[in-house]
Structure 1
C-alpha cells in the first residue's frame, strides 16, 4: 500500500467549482505518478495471478488466431500487391504476386524483435518502382516515412519525421511525394505540436529539411490537410479538416504549375468526398441537405452551388462509399448496418446490383481501372475476410482468397434484433451465439458498443470472440446513435448536447437483453474502447445496478479536460468543450470522472490503457481508477491494466492482442462466475 496524494485543485467553470485532486496523474514522469502506476501494476498482477483459466485460454486463443489472413490486394500497373499474415505473425507482410509465387516486399516483423513496430501506411509511385511507407513504434500515432526501391529491395536514404495521419501522394513523374507534417518538437509550444499542419513535397534523394512547402494556413492553425491526385493526374487535391468534424473543405491546384490552391469548396458545411473527374467536372459524394448522401457534379471553373448537378439522388439507405471505375460508379450502401453494392452509370442511372454472398461488412475496396475490375473483402461475425475479384465487364464474382478456420463455425449463428431506446428510437443490435440457445436468463453476455464519430459498428470477425462463443457466451453489438448506420442524422443525434442518447441506447440494449431472458444483470458485461470506453464508463456510473462486469479500454474519461491532451482538441466538434459556457453543462452532466458517487458499489471494472497511447492519454484511465478507489464502496473491484510498449491500438502485434484477451477472459470468468 502507498500513500495516495490528493491535490487541492479547484477549477471554476463558468461559476461551477470542480475539484481535480488527481491531476498529478496527468504527468506520467512525476515520482508520485510513477510510484502509483507501479503499485497499480502490482495490484493488477496479483489479481490475474489467481486466475486458473489463463493457460487454457491462451492455448485456445493461439489456436483460433492461427489461420492465414489476407488483405484486399491493390494492382499497381500489372502487378498485384497485398498484405498477408500466415497466422500468429505479429505483423502482416506486404507481398508482390509473381506468377504463383508470393514475393516479400516488406516484412515489418523484421523491424523489431517484439513486433511493436508496425507499417501503418504505404503508397506506390506511379511507375511502381518505389514504395513510400510509414511505420509506428509502440502504437504511437507519430510515424516515420521511408522509401524502398522495389527493384533492389533496398531502402533509400530518405527519412521523413514529425508526421501522423498523413497521406503519401506520389507526383505523376515519380520524382517524389506530397505529405503533411507537424512542427518539429521544441519549435513551438507543447500544446501546438499537433497544430500548424503543413503540406510538403519531398523530392527523392533530398533531406527533409529541404522539402518544398506546398500549402499552409497558419491563420487557422488547427486545420489538417490530406492530399491526393485526381484520377487524370492533372490536379493535386486537398481535403481540409477541422479535427474530427465530418464537414470538410476541398482545394486543388494544377499539378505541374507553380500556383496556389483554388479553394473550390471552402464553406465546410457538409462532407465532400471526391469520387472522380472528367476534365473540369468533378464528382463528389456529399451529405449536404441529404443525411443519407448523394453524388453531385461540380464544374471547378464555376463551383457555385447554383451550378451543381445532382447525379445520384439520396437513397433510402446510407451511401457509405463510392468509387468510380471507367464509366461506372460502384456504391456501397448501408442497409440496417450491413453493406450492399450497387452499380450506377456516370449519368446516375442504375445499372445493376453486385450480389454479396453473405450479410456482412465490406472491409476495403480497390480498383484496377485498366482491367475494369474491383477487389473487395467482406466479413461478418462468423466469417473472416473473404477477398473477391469482380469483373465489371463480365459481371462475374470470383473468390481471390478464403481462409480455412481452425473451428467449426456452423455451430454458431448471428441474428439481428431491434429494440426501443428510452426516447422511443428503434435501434438495431446483432447477437452472435451458439445455435439452440436457451432463453433461460442465465447466458453470459458481452455487450459491445461505440456510438460516436460517425463510425459504424457493422458485422466484423474477431478470432478472440470465438473463444467467448465457445464458452457459451453471447456477443451483442448495439448500433448506437453517434455512428452513421442511418446517416448523418443518426450521427448528430449522438453528439454534442445529444450524447446522452448514446448512453440511453446502450442501457436500453442491456435492459432488453434481460427483459427478453437472454441474460441477467449478474451475467451481463459491457465492453468498449476509446469513445466506447467513455460509453461503458458513463453507463457504469449512471446504472451501476445493471451490469455484472465492465471492460473499459483506452477510455476518454475526463470530459472537462480531454481537449488539453495531445490531439484531444480534434474531438471538440464531436463532444464540445468545457471552455464553452453553453457546452460545459452537458459535458459535466455525463463526464464519468465527475459523476462517481460516494459509497456506491460499482460493478467490477477492468480499466485497460497503454503507456504509449498518445491519442487518449493514460491519465484518463488512471484518474478514473484513482477516483473509483477513493469514492466507491470498498467491496468494488477495480483493476487497472497498464500495458507497456503499446498505444491506442494502431498496429498492435498479434501476441499483445492475445495477451490482452487472456486477461479479459480471466476477468470475465471470475466476475461473471463462469
Structure 2
C-alpha cells in the first residue's frame, strides 16, 4: 500500500491506518475545502518555533521574556511579593516530607542554602522530635558544582531488605530524561564501574545485588514512537550496558515497557509491564526460566504482590467483576494461565459512592485511598483465611486523607490529613490501626476568614458536575469578586480538596479573590467511567463542564466576565486553551501552563504519541474530524477578541513540547491579540526546577491576574 497523502503532508512515519489511499485522498479534499490551514503542516508558518534550541526560536523566547519582565517585574510591589513568597516557601518550619526505610526516615530538602537540594536521613526516633538531627547523604548543589552540570535529583531506588545500594536518578535541568548512577548508601558515594548509565528516558529496578532490569535508549531501534524504551535488558554486574542481553523487546507502536520487580518478605517476583496503550497493561511474569505473558484483561492497574498473590484493579467489567474493583489472583494460577472465576477474590467492589484512587501494599495489610463525593478516605483491608475484611480509618471528618507511606518489611504506615484550609498533618501507626500525629505544618492561611462549599451544576448534556468554591466569608454576590477557576479534567487524575498554602490560591485568597476547583469529566473523581466519558470523540464534554461552571459562577453573582480568570497546566493547559477559544466572551484572564495546543501535531512532538488513547489520532481522518473542532491552535480566528492569555512553558520540557505554547503565542500576536509569555530555560515539565524559580513564576502569575481581574 502506498503512503497516504496525509503522511506526505505531515512528514511523519507513524503506523498506517487501514483505509485505501483513494479514501484518504477524497477525505483529504473534503477537509481541505473546509479549512485548508488545519490540514497541512507545510502551511504552518510557525514550525520554526518547534526547534527547541534553534537560534531564531530562542531569540524570540528571549524577546518575549523581556517584554513580560519589563511589564510586571520592575515594581517594588512585585519584588516584595516575590521575596515574600520565596521566604514562606523556604520556611524551616515546613514538614520535612520523609519515607520510612530500614528503621530510618529519608528526606530530600531544599531551601535558600540548598537550592538544588540535599538528600538526608535521620532515625525514626529523631524524626518524631521538633528538630530532628539529620545526617547528610548527598549534596546535589555540590555535585552540580563539581561536575559542571545542572543536576536535579529525581529520586532513589534502594535494594531491599539490606538497603546498602541505591540507583539514583539525576536530571540535567529537569528533563524527564535521566542519568542513573549506583550509590553506596553506607559509604555515601557513587560506585565506580557500577550500574551507571547515560542520559535517556529510562527505568531500572533491582533484581538482586548483581543484576538490574533496565529499559533505556540502547541505540537505533530501541525506543518506541512515544520516545520511551521499547527494550528491557537484564544487566549483570561487570558487564557493559552494551553487552547486557535483551530480556524483553516490545513493539514500536506500544506505549511503554517497564521493568517490574517486587521484593517482599513473602517472596520475590519480577518481569515486565507492557503498555499497549496509555491506559492498558499486559503483565509478563518470569517463572524462573522464561517470561510468561499472563492472560488478563488489558484495562487493569497492577499494584503489586501480596502473600503469593497479584493485587490489581480493573478499569472495565471483566466476567462477573465490576469495573473499578480491586482483585486478588494467586500467582500459580497466573503462571499457569488457568484463571477462572474461583481463582479471583474480590477485595473491594465499587458501590456507586466510593471509588479507588490509590492502593498501597504493606507487610500485613492493604491500604486503599477512596474518593467519596470527591473527598478522600482510607480503608484498610486485612486477609483472614480466605476472605478480606475491611475497616475505615476514622476520626478525620471534613478532611481529605492520603496514604503517605507504608513499609513492606514492617508494620509501619503513615497517612496525611488535610483540607483546603488546613495544612497537612502526618500520622503514624506501627500496627496499621492506632494512628498518632507526628508532624504538622504551620498554617499560612487563617481558616476563620474563609469558607469552602461544594456546588453542583448541570453540564450541557444534563450531567451534574461538582466544583469547590473557596472564598472569604460574607462576600457580596454582586459579580465583582475576582475569581480564578482551576481545572484539569484528564487521564483519570482527580482533584480532591488539598491544602492551598504555598500555591497561587493562598495568595489570591489573601488578596481578596475567590478560588474555584473544578471536578470535570476526564478526571477520576467518580471512578473509571468518569474518565472514560470524556475520551476521544467525547472530549468536548470536559470543556462543556468547565464552561458550565464558569457560567454558573457568573449567574450566581460570584463574579463576571471582567473578573473571571481560568487556570490550567499540561492537559489543563489544553482545557483552558479550548475553553477560551470557544468562549472568549466569558473570561478576562487565562493562565495556560506547559500546555498542549496544536492537536494536529501533538502526536509528533516528544511524548505526544503516548496520549492518542486520550485524545484520538489526528492521522486518522475520522478522529481528526472531532479533534479539529476543539484544537486551540487551529481554532484561533482573526478578528475575534480574545482575553490576554498568559502562556508559560520550559525550554527543558521533554514531555510536552514548548512549541505548543510558542506557536500559539506567536500566532495570536500576529493576529493582533496581545499575550503575556514566559519561558523558563530549565525545569522540565514542572516548569521550574527550584523554590526560587517557582516563587518567581508564582509572583509573575499573581501580578498578571491582579492586573487583569482586580485593577
TM-score (norm. length: structure 2): 0.85
Q: How many residues align?
A: 652
Structure 2 gap ranges (5+): 1-8, 12-24, 38-43, 127-132
Q: Greater strand percent: which structure? A: 1
Q: What is the Cα deviation at residue 430 of structure 1?
A: 1.6
**Residue 391, structure 1, aligned to residue 415, structure 2:** no
Q: What secondary structure, in the 3-state scheme, does the structure 2 residue paired with 1:234 have?
A: strand
1:371 counterpart residue number: 410
* Alignment check: 8 A CA contact 1:90 1:115 kept: no
TM alignment of 1:45-444, pairs within 5 A: 45-49=69-73, 53-67=77-91, 68-70=93-95, 73-85=98-110, 89-98=114-123, 100=126, 101-112=133-144, 117-126=151-160, 127-157=162-192, 158=194, 159-164=196-201, 166=203, 168-172=204-208, 174-184=209-219, 187=220, 192=225, 194-204=227-237, 206-218=239-251, 222-229=255-262, 231=264, 232-243=266-277, 245-254=278-287, 257=288, 259-265=289-295, 267-268=297-298, 270-279=299-308, 281-289=309-317, 290-298=322-330, 299-307=333-341, 308-316=343-351, 317-346=354-383, 347-355=386-394, 357=396, 359-392=398-431, 395-406=433-444, 408-444=446-482
Q: What secondary structure, in the 3-state scheme, does the structure 1 residue paired with 2:476 have?
A: coil
Q: Greater helix percent: which structure? A: 2
Q: What is the Cα deviation at residue 445 of structure 1?
A: 1.1
Q: What secondary structure, in the 3-state scheme, does the structure 1 residue paired with 2:628 have?
A: helix
Q: What secondary structure, in the 3-state scheme, does the structure 1 residue paired with 2:586 have?
A: coil
2:657 counterpart residue number: 617
* Alignment check: 8 A CA contact 2:151 2:170 kept: yes
Structure 2 residue corresponding to 1:535, chosen from 561, 564, 575: 575
1:43 counterpart residue number: 67
Hey, what's the Cα distance between the residues in 1 that align with 2:502 and 2:377?
24
Distance 1:206 1:474, change over 3 A: farther
2:15 counterpart residue number: none
Distance 1:376 1:82, change over 3 A: farther
For residues 137-164 of structure 1, give each alpha carbon's deviation from its aligned partner in whole angstroms, at most 9, with x where no partner exists.
2121100111221111111123212442
Q: What is the Cα deviation at residue 204 of structure 1?
A: 4.5
For residues 449-503 of structure 1, give each alpha carbon's deviation from its aligned partner in whole angstroms, at most 9, with x where no partner exists.
0011111112233413211111011111101111111011100111101110011
Distance 1:549 1:272, change over 3 A: closer
Hey, what's the Cα distance between the residues in 1 that align with 2:590 and 2:104?
47
Q: What is the Cα deviation at residue 398 of structure 1?
A: 1.1
- Across the aligned residues of Structure 1 and Structure 2, the Cα RMSD in angstroms comes to 2.7
TM-score (norm. length: structure 1): 0.90
**Residue 657, structure 1, aligned to residue 681, structure 2:** no
Structure 1 gap ranges (5+): 1-8
1:452 counterpart residue number: 490
1:484 counterpart residue number: 524
Distance 1:407 1:204, change over 3 A: farther
Distance 1:301 1:585, change over 3 A: same
Point out the more displaced range, 43-52 or 17-26. Answer: 43-52
Q: What is the Cα deviation at residue 72 of structure 1?
A: 5.1
Distance 1:409 1:652, change over 3 A: farther
* Alignment check: 8 A CA contact 1:422 1:505 kept: yes
Q: What is the Cα deviation at residue 630 of structure 1?
A: 2.5
For residues 341-373 of structure 1, give each alpha carbon's deviation from its aligned partner in whole angstroms, at most 9, with x where no partner exists.
112232444332112535444554322344323
